[in-house]
Structure 1
Amino acid sequence: MNHFKRAWLSVIRRKGKSLILLVLIFVLGNVIAGAFSIQQASKNVEKTIKYQLGSIATIALDNDAIMKEMETNPDFDFSIKGLSVKDIETIGATDSVKYYDYSIMATLQSDTIKNVESNNPGVLRQSPTEGQQRSMFELRGINNPNVTLITEGKISLTNGRVFNADEVKAGKLVVMASEPFMKENNLSVGDMLTLSNIITGSSENGEMTDVEKRDVTFEIIGTFTSETIKEKKENDINAQFFQGQYDNLLLTPNKVAYEEAAYALEGFQKQYPEMFENQTLTTEEFIMQYVSPVFALNDPKDVESFRAAVDPTLPKFYKVNTSSDAYDSIAGPVKAMDSMAQITLIVAVSATILILSLVIVLFLRDRKHELGVYLSLGDRRGRVVGQIVMEVMMVAFVGLTLSLVTGNYLAKGLSSNLMKPSDDPMFGMPMYNEFASDLNEGDVLEAYKVELTPEYVGLFYLIGLSVTAASTIVPTVYITRLNPKKIMM
Structure 2
Amino acid sequence: MDFKQRALKSITRRKGKSLILFFVVFILGNVIAGAVAIQQSTVNVEKETKRSMGAVTSVQMDYEAYDKKMSNVSEEEMMNMAYPQPPKAKVYREIGDLSYVKRYDLFLTTGTGTVKLKSATDDNVGYGGTPYMFNIKGFNQKEFLDVTEGLVKITQGEGFTDNDIKNGTNAAIISLDVAEANSLSVGDSFVLDATNQVMDDSVEAQSSESGELPQPKTVSFDFPMKVSGIFTVVKKDPDAQQSQEQAAENQWRALEQLNTIYTTEGAARDLSKKLGEAYSSGTDAPLEDMEDNYQATYVLNSPDDIEAFREDANALLPEYYQVIASSDQYDQVAGGLNKLNTISKYVVIVAVIATLLILSLVVLLFMRDRKHELGIYLSFGESRGKVITQIVLELLMISSIALVLSLITGNFLGGAISQSLIQSDWISNSSQEGMVYYGNNLMQNNLSFMDIQQAYKVTFSIGYIVTYLLVGVGTVLLSAVLPLLYILRLNPKKIMM
The TM-score, its normalising length taken from structure 1, stands at 0.90
Whole-angstrom CA distance in 2 between matches of 1:254 and 1:227: 24
Closer, same or farther in 2 for the Cα pair 1:79/1:18, shift >3 Å? closer
- 1:14 and 2:18 correspond: no
Which residue of structure 2 lines up, in the alignment, with residue 32 of structure 1? Answer: 32
Correspondence for 1:90 among 62, 69, 94: 94
- SS at structure 2 position matched to 1:244: helix
1:478 and 2:486 correspond: yes
What secondary structure, in the 3-state scheme, does the structure 1 residue paired with 2:177 have? helix
- In structure 1, the partner of 2:237 is 230
| TM-score with structure 2 setting the length | 0.88
Could you list the per-position Cα deviations for residues 371-427 of structure 1 after superposition, in whole angstroms to 9, with x for gaps in the alignment? 110011011111111101111111101111111111000011011101128479966
The answer on whether the counterparts of 1:60 and 1:318 sit within 8 Å (CA) in structure 2 is: yes
Question: Does the Cα contact within 8 Å between 1:428 and 1:440 map onto a contact in 2?
Answer: no
Corresponding residue of 1:418: 421
The structural deviation recorded for 1:172 is 0.4
Secondary structure in 2 matching 1:315: coil
Cα drift, residue 90 of structure 1: 2.7
* 1:291 and 2:294 matched: yes
Distance 1:418 1:428, change over 3 A: farther
Please name the residue that 1:335 is paired with. Answer: 338
Q: How does 1:107-256 map to 2 (within 5 A)?
A: 107-117=111-121, 125-126=125-126, 134-198=131-195, 200-201=197-198, 206-211=214-219, 213-230=220-237, 233=239, 236-237=242-243, 238=246, 240-241=250-251, 242-256=253-267
Instruction: Report the Cα offset of residue 62 of structure 1.
Output: 2.2
User: How big is each residue's C-alpha offset from its partner over 1:199-243, in whole Å with a ceiling of 9 and x where there is no partner?
Assistant: 5445689544334x3211111111112222226x25645364433
Q: Which residue of structure 2 aligns with residue 432 of structure 1?
A: 438
Quote how far apart the aligned CAs of 1:336 are.
Answer: 1.0
1:370 is displaced (CA, Å) by 0.5
Aligned residue among 74, 77, 82 for 2:81? 77
Partner of 2:210: none
**How far, CA to CA, are the matches of 1:245 and 1:222 in structure 2?**
18
CA displacement 1:266-298 (0-9 Å, x = unmatched)? 33223231xx3xx6xx743xx333433111112
Deviation at 1:79, TM superposition (A): 4.7
Letter in 2 for 1:249: T
8 Å CA contact 1:428–1:441 kept in 2: the answer is: no
Distance in 2 (alpha carbons) for counterparts of 1:425 and 1:332 = 5
After TM superposition, list the pairs within 5 Å mapping 1:258-337 onto structure 2. 258-273=269-284, 276=285, 283-284=288-289, 287-337=290-340
Instruction: Check whether the contact 2:109–2:268 (CA below 8 A) recurs between aligned residues.
Output: yes
AA aligned to 2:217 is: T
Counterpart among 459, 474, 481 of residue 466 in structure 1:
474
Aligned match of 1:63: 63
| Aligned equivalents of 1:85, 1:210: Cα separation in 2 | 31
Aligned residues of 2:117 and 2:193 also touching (Cα < 8 A): no
**418-427 vs 292-301, greater mean Cα deviation:** 418-427
After superposing the two structures, state which structure 1 stretch, 462-471 or 257-266, moved more. Answer: 257-266
Q: Do 1:147 and 1:162's aligned partners in 2 also have CA atoms closer than 8 Å?
A: no
In structure 1, distance between residues paired with 2:104 and 2:466: 42
Change (3 A) 1:77 1:271: farther
Aligned to 2:211: none
The answer (yes or no) to whether the contact 2:151–2:233 under 8 Å persists in 1 is yes
What is the DSSP-based 3-state SS (H/G/I as helix, E as strand, rest coil) of the residue aligned with 1:271? coil
Higher fraction of helix: 2
Q: 1: distance between equivalents of 2:127 and 2:282? A: 24
Where 2:457 maps in the other structure, the secondary structure is coil
Q: Which shows bigger deviation, 246-255 or 345-354?
A: 246-255
Amino acid at match of 2:385: G
Identity %: 34
Specify the alignment match of 2:391 in structure 1: 388
8 Å CA contact 1:60, 1:292 repeated in 2: no
7-16 vs 66-75, which moves further: 66-75
**Cα offset, 1:51, TM superposition:** 1.1
SS of alignment partner, residue 78 of structure 1: coil
Residues of 2 paired with 1:127 and 1:262: CA distance? Answer: 17
Of 350, 353, 356, the residue aligned with 2:356 is 353
- Superposition deviation, residue 451 in structure 1: 0.5
Opposite residue 185 of structure 1, the aligned amino acid is N
8 Å contact 2:25–2:402 — kept in the other structure? yes
Answer yes or no: is the 8 Å Cα contact 1:4–1:387 preserved in 2: yes
SS in 1 for 2:294: coil
Q: Distance in 2 between matches of 1:361 and 1:424?
A: 46
Range that drifts further, 45-54 or 393-402:
45-54
* Separation in 2, partners of 1:42, 1:442: 14
Q: Distance in 2 between matches of 1:118 and 1:365?
A: 89
Shift of 1:174: 0.7
- Which consecutive unaligned segments of at least 5 residues does structure 2 have? 208-213
Q: Is the 8 A contact 1:332 1:428 kept in 2?
A: no
Q: Secondary structure at the match of 2:59?
A: strand
Name the Cα RMSD after superposition: 2.5
Aligned equivalents of 1:246, 1:426: Cα separation in 2 = 26
Larger CA deviation: 197-206 vs 245-254: 197-206
